[in-house]
Structure 1
Amino acid sequence: MRSRTSLHWQEGQVKRSGAERFLDADRYASYLKTIQGRLRTDLGWINLQSFLPAPAAGLRALDVGGGTGSLALRLAEIGFDVVLLDSSEPMLDVARREADAGRTHGSISFRLGDAAHLSDLFDPSSFHLVVCHNLLEFMEDPPAVLRGVADLLEKDLKSVVSLLVRNRWGEVLRAAVTEQDTNEAKAVLGGETVLDSLYGEPVRVFDPAVARSMVEQAGLEPLALRGVRVASDYRECPVATEEAYSRLIELELLLGALPQFAALARYSQIIARPRFG
């Protein structure tokens, strides 16, 4: 989970409180090294790669709510000049340490700030790529944030947005199958939030069709919808070897590209570009 703005439960909705609550950045970094954490990052990255402008050298990218920098560093490695924005200084500290330990062909800078105020932080049309993964579920006004993201894109065919959100239908299945909690499954089916398994905080869930509509209303043209983590959350046997992990990645990519399976994935990834005309 990313630390953007602290949340609390109020009348069944996700709300932002006035002061940011400290979340353990090292704990999140450790989660990203688990199979589930790696799958979310790796699948999202692989799905995005075929839509990235090339060559990346000299192009600017923004990772909104980039947390500990797992995706931002990959972008810098292939040549993007990356800005990583997050509202948590501890998260940014971890990202800085990771950047110092790695090699990049582009550059990476770090900025403390709230994704709800993107227009106050950056000029319009500043980036060729904006990554918005696992962010909107924590925000009070997701459509407004997405409009802000769209405004930051260069208005040309190279520009791309990648959005990753929690899929309501995947959360219903998780509750019913993995947790075997029928009450929770019914609550997610008709509610707007689910408790995050890492921190126990309420976060938003999105119908894939509603997420797509939100993208379009922000002035973006969807290019692809992918499911992320279709089958892996329901496996009883852990992945014990890198070879087994590679096979699981291959299966997940196949399933995530099929609409009937993408509709049931734990996360929905929408890749879009500015709409012209």
Structure 2
Amino acid sequence: MSQDQSSESPAVPEGGHGQKGSTRAQARTAVVWQVLKEALDRQAKAGPSPVLDVLDTGGGTGNFAVPIAALGHRVTVVDPSPNALFGLQRRAAEAGVAERVRGVQGDAHGLFEVVERGGYDAVLCHGVLEYVDDPAEGMRNAVAALRPAAGTLSVLAAGVGGAVLSRALAGHFTAARRALTSPEGSWGGSDPVPRRFTPGQLRDLVRAEGLEIAAVHGVRIFSDLVPGGLAEQEAGALEALLELELAAAESPAFQAVASRLHLLAVRG
């Protein structure tokens, strides 16, 4: 992943409540956090232990790992950047969950050089498939990290439609057409994202590994397009933006133009 953040959430990824900037950041991640937290809660209640072992591939400074650890779970973060892993440990310590967060340097292709195959109750593959040389292999490794009997996979990746729409609205029509027609969903050499996906492409990658798709959501449908000043002109506008993001997330029509796509899949 009700239409609001759970009051039981220990933290809201990318910022907390009460500040304009953080509320806008919350609108960008609220759907993912809501769906993910509910899935972890269900799995913890149904499994043999309420404490889950969670793997966050490409988890960086712990935007999701630290809030998950604050729920009581053990989280291993794999990231190629030592600076990001340093930031992860600092954030975990500040949140009081350092004993439940472990950072290891590595990447999706060499995943089992640094973590155990089949050793995790849940795996996050957020912002990874856009950058790996072979998305199918990256997905295969993420699924192989799940326990053989049961597990939850959370995939977050860049969406083609959102890039096309944002380029067109900015007046960069040639770049928009290139992103639309490119097999990788990229607008060219200046594009910071090497690859983007349609909802169907993400579904195909997951189904190829034998998992059942539980939910697909559009993320950052509006929040990346609305100018910051416009969203802050009147009281309650940012909160209304958050509610709009949540309301549109499950609509296939809006998933097609979302900046990010979130897919939740399960095994067993």
Name the TM tier (shorter chain): 0.7 to 0.9
1:246 aligns with 239
Aligned pairs for 1:250-269 within 5 A:
250-269=243-262
Q: Would you say the 8 A contact 2:179–2:187 is kept in 1? A: no
Q: Distance in 1 between matches of 2:239 and 2:96?
A: 24
1:15 aligns with none
Q: Does residue 194 in structure 1 map to residue 186 in structure 2?
A: yes
Aligned pairs for 1:190-229 within 5 A:
190-191=181-182, 192-194=184-186, 201-229=192-220
Q: Does residue 50 in structure 1 map to residue 38 in structure 2?
A: yes
- Name the TM-score, length of structure 2 as normaliser: 0.82
List gaps (5 residues or longer) in structure 1.
1-28
1:201 maps to amino acid = P
Q: Would you say the 8 A contact 2:29–2:219 is kept in 1? A: no
Decide which structure has greater strand share. 1
Q: Distance in 2 between matches of 1:265 and 1:41?
A: 12
1:126 aligns with 119
Q: Does residue 83 in structure 1 map to residue 76 in structure 2?
A: yes
Deviations 1:108-136 (A, max 9, x none): 11111121112222222210110111111
Shift in Å, 1:183: 0.3
Residue 224 of structure 2 aligns to a residue in which SS?
helix
Q: Distance in 2 between matches of 1:77 and 1:242?
A: 31
Q: Would you say the 8 A contact 1:78–1:105 is kept in 2? A: no
1:164 aligns with 156
Q: Does residue 174 in structure 1 map to residue 166 in structure 2?
A: yes
1:209 maps to amino acid = G
Q: Does residue 71 in structure 1 map to residue 64 in structure 2?
A: yes
| Percentage of matched positions with identical amino acids | 29
Deviations 1:237-270 (A, max 9, x none): 5343894333222210110111221221111111
Residue 56 of structure 2 aligns to a residue in which SS?
strand
1:221 maps to amino acid = E
List gaps (5 residues or longer) in structure 2.
1-13, 16-20
RMSD: 2.5
- Number of residue pairs the alignment of both structures matches: 241
Shift in Å, 1:201: 2.7
